[in-house]
Amino acid sequence: IFALLCIASGGLVYLLARWISSIYTFFNVQRCLIRDATLVGVENQYGEVELIQTVTVPFDGVVADVFPDLDRRASARAARSPALVSARQQPMTQLIMFDYRYIRFIYNPVTSLFEPNYSFADEAWTRKAHVMGGLTDAQVAQRRAIFGPNALALRTKSTMDLLAGEVLHPFYMFQVASIILWSLDDYYYYAACIFVISTVSAIQTLLETRHTMRRLQKMAYFTCPVRVRRNGTWTTVASEDVVPGDIFEVSSAHSNLVPCDAVLLAGECIVNESMLTGESVPCMRTPLNDVELRTLNFEEEEPASSARLSRFFLFNGTRMIRVRGHGDGVPSPDGALSTARPMGALGMCMRTGFNTTKGSLIRSMLFPKPNKFKFYQDSFRFIGVLFIIALIGFAASFYNFIRLHVPLTTILLRAADLITIVVPPALPATMSIGVSFAIARLRKHAIFCTSPPRVIIAGKIQMMCFDKTGTLTLEGLDVLGFRFTVPCVKPGATTAHPDHLKQLRFSELYHQEMDFPYPMIVCAMATCHSLSLVDDELIGDPLDLKMFEFTGWSIAADNAMTLATIRPRGHGKARDHIVASATPNRQVQMIVKPPTVHFSQLRPGLLPEAPKVELAVLRSFDFVSNLRRMSVIVRRVQKVGGVASDDTGEGYAMANRWFECFVKGAPEVMRQICSPASLPADYDAQLRAYAHHGYRIIACAWKRINMSTSKVYKLKRDAVENDCSFLGFIVFENKLKATTPAVVRSLRRAKIRQAMCTGDNVLTGLSVSRECGLVNPSSRIFVPRFLSPDDDWSSDAARAFEESPQSIMWEDVDGSGVPTTVAGLAPAETSLASGLDPPLFAPGSTGQYELAVTGEVFQHYLDYASEQTLARLLVKAQIFARMSPDQKHFLVERLQGLGYTVGFCGDGANDCGALKAADVGISLSEAEASVAAPLTSHSTDLECVLTTIREGRAALVTSFSCFKYMALYSLIQFTSVSLLYSQVSNLGDFQFLYIDLAIIIPVAVFMGQAEAAQTVSLKGPTATLVSKKILTSLFGQIAIQAALQVALFRWTHQQPWYAPPATDIDEKGFRSYDNTVVFLLSAFQYLIVALVFNAGRPFRAPAWRNRPFILTLGALALFNIWLTLAPSPWIRDLLELMDLPPVARFVILAAAAVDLALTWGAEEVLLPSIARAWGRLM
């Protein structure tokens, strides 16, 4: 039946079924049980529906091999039920699957659903020892069937498929239908020109599509040899054959690109992730532990935006800068050490192909989020309105056609012709012109866009959120100095041992490193970091790099040397030494040495023959975001000869018998691991003072470890990081970028709300916000703290505390002593206010105030506060500090829930989730495209935010201008044709060609070329076509243009020289006075409305700066004047114009001048006044 209908309808039913899937399914698909389906209808979160064929492949395994997380998704009781245990072991002889946009869905017989396989987690992934043996051939075969090849291979369509897809698009089919219509109506020249233009456009689009696909394919696809451990032995396979669970050697021997998404099991790796996450600084990756392996859950935690997972996660396609071997034997199945141990680090494949983070980036480029911007929705509604106008206009002419006995076929042709006039085929293309030019201009500013619709949305940004470090401020922190603890003693008293000091204070601030002997805090700065030496260049975290450079120390060795016990010749007692030979479990990560001491600068009493003691880092516990600290275990060493196994004959001997631990981290958490006796009395005062002035503080601590070497290597982190002695503060200054204050001022002037969203201290964030002007300097700022039962508060607040275990008090950061109520978020009169107190008075009565929110308070509000209270918090908060990546993401979504169009600017990595969630995410990264954001700026200058907003506003206004112009063009031509229909006439073939090709297309293209304004204006552009301003302008201009045509048309009929058309409409001869007068006036009207609608300020540069547009208008205006006053006979014959009397020529020019005055005056004065009056009435 479907085939017959397609043939009978001339292919129309086939086209409709191609465009609307429900029509195809109605004729060709029958509903069935999901397990029996050969065709699956997939509807995504945007409401798009696609029909996909299922595929069945043989499989030898059980349900748990494909869906190992069934028990995780079940309740604890259900997971242990016999039914679920039995279901997990149910045999599967085949896999029924389909791939939707490169995501594989497999039928689950237990749930009777098709489920994606991207969150696969083997139940054996509980301990590293369980997975080190690798996979068996049977497991590899199973997982290859489940996941397919590990390759980002794009399915490229053939040239004919691409051409068919382009030509069969509704837009092109409308053009084809129009060309057929014009040919039937003997408009051969016009139809031929449009056919050529459409063909060239289709070919150009085809070539661009193929080029884009090839570029994506080149970006996505790569293959390399990989050494994997299978069946207990090491073998080399192609990267395409790697499957989840494979243990592989992380090595740059064959390729410096990571072959899959993986976790690091052993060794260390420095990777450059700038092309993927936007992180510009090379990142150190260290092995995960058993707990982290056991708790991996990619459904709840995405590695690209998780600080916890990113510490040990390797992303597919990222570049390895350096890999350091693990030094641990790889156990064979019987537990013995394998002799075929690789030299690189070890990783375990977690995700392959398009399930990887890089695959997600490629998919986001191939299938961008559909544009739901209201402008586009309104534009199609307005096209529907134009279509209705066409029907009304035709109905007015229909009676006249019947009266004159015009054949039915001619009437139908005239009706269809009116539709092509009112809904011009070029409308969709002209609407995208502004966006295309804006993207080109953004590229000139080194801002790259992977989602064109986001450019227009940038024009409607109402709130801009900024990360702090690397965004508002410079990437690196500079060390201002350090302060260490010194004893408070009376003059003349002797210094006691540090362990016995009763009271400590801070020293003065040292702005440069001190000579030997170094304070312990300098030793902490020299060792407690994650830096590595790669090709004589220090690589690592910028903060660590600045801190280490400040000390003046250097890395003497960084190559995984080994701690060994050696008995030097001639000595009876054995001593620990560091040598280059490898011994399991005793790696030395690096040795740092102090700078050369200038003995002339030594303090009195220091002997020049003091030994050169260096520090060897034996173990390190990396920075963890939830602990907010890192630590190292070191030992003092001296370089000696005759102990090394290499040809240098040098090694290192231990300078003492004990080990030392250095810890650095956030001051708030460091005080919890330090003994109270080691904390200075002014700890909090100094911390608050520095933070209040915008400095970042890192606290350092130390302790001695008296243990054997073997026990030190077995110590747990908790045993190391406790009962330490506080050493002092390292003070960093985070300088603003030079352009930050100006950008913030511009956004404030534009009434675009701004907020800081940072992981830094709340007081530091507040100081930077004040310095750059993000918060009003005169505003009172309130910061939160959780109340405890020990606080002196009212009985009402005490009752509230019993109901909510963590009630909050907001305190004035400047110490005015006036807290706020949390429920009302207004300054309160009571001394303390709980989170459940009602507001005591209106916020305005105590002056302007703003809130600075910490991450834990924000989370508390998310968990416990009402929606109304949370909304008040979000409206008043300007600073969000100590925010985790997930909290940044939630913040953006909550702000969007309040109706804000949110922009977020960050430097990738930890901001990834927020950048993707924002309406417009701008990543400061060196990559052209990153998984982080749809907009990527190569320049770290914050000016890119203003540029994006300005270009977005210009593109939005240009789209409105082009749409209004095309709407007016359609209705001006509709009016002309309707008037001529009343006289059984029409415009000629070359008249249509002149209007459409010589006037409309060049003017529309150059109108879209208008540049953005140099500043961001106070008020943003409207974003909807149904706004009073737009509707008033459109219908007002339509009335003016139609009225003038009708007036001139009637005037012509009243002149003594007028003669009615003598040509039958079927004879296609349209030369008449009506035709000539209407055509000449309309030719001026197209130019006049283009000039009026091409508004410049405040969102675009002045119109005169758009030189191609002005020159085109000027040239066309002169040509129209010549055509009206003294056309050559050949051009008059070509355009089928009558030889008008001189008075008629001047009347047409006068009508054009009146049209210009009325159109300009109405657009600038009358119509805006009507729109404002309409708004007041509504």
When pLDDT is averaged across residues 758-779 and rounded to a whole number, the result is: 83
Interhelix angle 170-184/188-220, rounded to 10 degrees, is 160
Condensed to tens digits (0 to 9), the pLDDT of residues 509-536 reads 665 554 445 778 888 998 998 887 777 7
Q: 3-state class of 443 per DSSP?
A: helix
Q: What's the confidence (pLDDT) of residue 1076?
A: 94
Lowest-pLDDT range of 164-168, 496-500, 851-855: 496-500
Number of C-beta neighbours around residue 1108 at 10 A? 13
Nearest to 308 by CA among 326, 296, 324, 321: 296
C-alpha 830: how far from its chain's center?
Answer: 44
Residue 51 has pLDDT above 80, yes or no: yes
Give the mean pLDDT of 971-1000. 87
Query: Mean pLDDT throughout 202-206?
Result: 78
How much is the pLDDT for 140?
94
Average pLDDT over every residue of 850-866? 85
Q: Given this model, what pLDDT does residue 580 score?
A: 45
Between 374 and 1142, the higher pLDDT residue = 1142
Helix (H, G, I), strand (E, B) or coil at 394: helix
Residue 470 predicted with pLDDT over 60: yes
pLDDT surpassing 90 at residue 82: no
Distances from the Cα of 279 to the Cα of 261, 284, 905, 911, 932, angstroms: 17, 12, 13, 10, 9
pLDDT at 722 over 80: yes
Q: What's the Cα-to-Cα distance from 952 to each of 437, 438, 455, 935, 944, rounded to whole Å?
A: 11, 7, 5, 12, 12
> Which of 218-222, 378-382, 489-493 has the lowest average pLDDT?
489-493
* Per-residue pLDDT at 25: 84
Distance CA 180, CA 197 (A): 15
Report how far residue 104's alpha carbon sits from residue 353's, in angstroms, rounded to the nearest whole number: 10
Mind listing the pLDDT tens digit for each residue in 235-246? Answer: 999 999 999 999
Instruction: Summarize the confidence of residues 1101-1123 as an average pLDDT.
Output: 91
**What is the model's pLDDT at position 97?**
94
More confident residue, 849 or 425: 849
1025 or 660, higher pLDDT: 660
Confidence of residue 573 (pLDDT cuts 50, 70, 90): very low
Q: What is the 3-state secondary structure (H, E, C) of 146-214?
A: HHCCCCCCCCCCCHHHHHHHHHCCHHHHHHHHHHHHHHHCCCHHHHHHHHHHHHHHHHHHHHHHHHHHH
Dihedral sign, Cα of residue 80, residue 84, residue 88, residue 91 = positive
Predicted confidence at residue 606, as pLDDT, reads: 37
pLDDT of 168: 81
Residue-level pLDDT at 333: 35
Q: Is 212 or 632 the better-scoring residue by pLDDT?
A: 632
> What's the pLDDT score for residue 550?
86
Q: Is the pLDDT of residue 581 over 70?
A: no
Which of the four pLDDT bands, split at 50, 70 and 90, describes residue 76? Answer: very low
Cis amide leading into 303 (omega within 30): no
Q: What percent of the chain has pLDDT over 90?
A: 20
Contact 713, 586 (CB under 8 A): yes
Residue 653 has pLDDT above 70, yes or no: yes
Considering only residues 863 and 516, tell me which one the structure prediction assigns the higher pLDDT. Answer: 863
pTM given for the model: 0.71
Average pLDDT value for residue range 1012-1019: 85
How many percent of the chain have pLDDT more than 70? 80
The answer for residues whose C-beta is within 8 angstroms of residue 708's C-beta and 6 or more apart is none
Average pLDDT over residues 679-698: 83
Segment 420-441, tens digit of pLDDT: 787 776 666 666 777 888 888 8
Number of residues written out for the chain: 1178
Token code pair at residue 325:
């071997």
Residue 48: HSE in the Cβ half-sphere, 13 Å Cα cutoff: 13
**Residue 1102 pLDDT class (50, 70, 90 cuts):** confident
Q: What is the mean pLDDT of the chain?
A: 79
> What is the pLDDT at residue 531?
83
pLDDT given at position 838: 27
Does residue 843 carry a pLDDT above 60?
no
Catalytic residue among 467, 541, 886, 989: 467
**Residue 590 backbone zone (phi > 0: left; psi -120 to 50: alpha; other: beta):** beta
Output DSSP code: residue 909: G
Range from 660-669, 766-775, 815-824, 1012-1021 carrying the lowest mean pLDDT? 815-824
- What is the pLDDT at residue 506? 66
Mean pLDDT across the stretch 276-290? 75
Amino acid 494: pLDDT: 35
Q: Mean pLDDT across the stretch 779-801? A: 59
Residue 1042 has pLDDT above 80, yes or no: yes
Spatial distance between the Cα atoms of 912 and 905, rounded to a whole number of angstroms: 10
* Residues whose CB falls within 8 Å of the CB of residue 143, separated by 6 or more in sequence, listed in order: 135, 243, 244, 245
Q: Is the dihedral of CA 1122, 1123, 1126, 1128 positive or negative?
A: positive
Question: What is the average per-residue pLDDT within 561-572?
Answer: 42
Q: What is the DSSP letter of 1079?
A: H
Mean pLDDT across the stretch 227-233? 92
pLDDT in the model for residue 371: 59
Burial class (CB in 10 A: 0-12, 13-18, 19+), 341: middle
CA-based nearest residue to 936, from 916, 954, 917, 950: 916
Mean pLDDT of 193-211: 78
What pLDDT, on a 0 to 100 scale, did the predictor assign at position 831? Answer: 30
Residue 1064 has pLDDT above 70, yes or no: no
Taking residues 344-350, report their average pLDDT.
89
Q: Which of 618-627, 703-712, 905-914 has the lowest mean pLDDT?
A: 905-914
User: In sequence order, which ranges of 40-136 are alpha helices (DSSP H)?
Assistant: 63-66, 70-73, 76-79, 82-88, 128-131
Q: Are 820 and 826 in contact (CB under 8 A)?
A: yes
Q: How many CB atoms lie within 10 A of CB 502?
A: 9
102-136: pLDDT as tens digits = 999 999 988 888 999 888 888 888 888 888 889 99
Based on the residue annotation, tell me whether 467 is a catalytic residue of this protein: yes
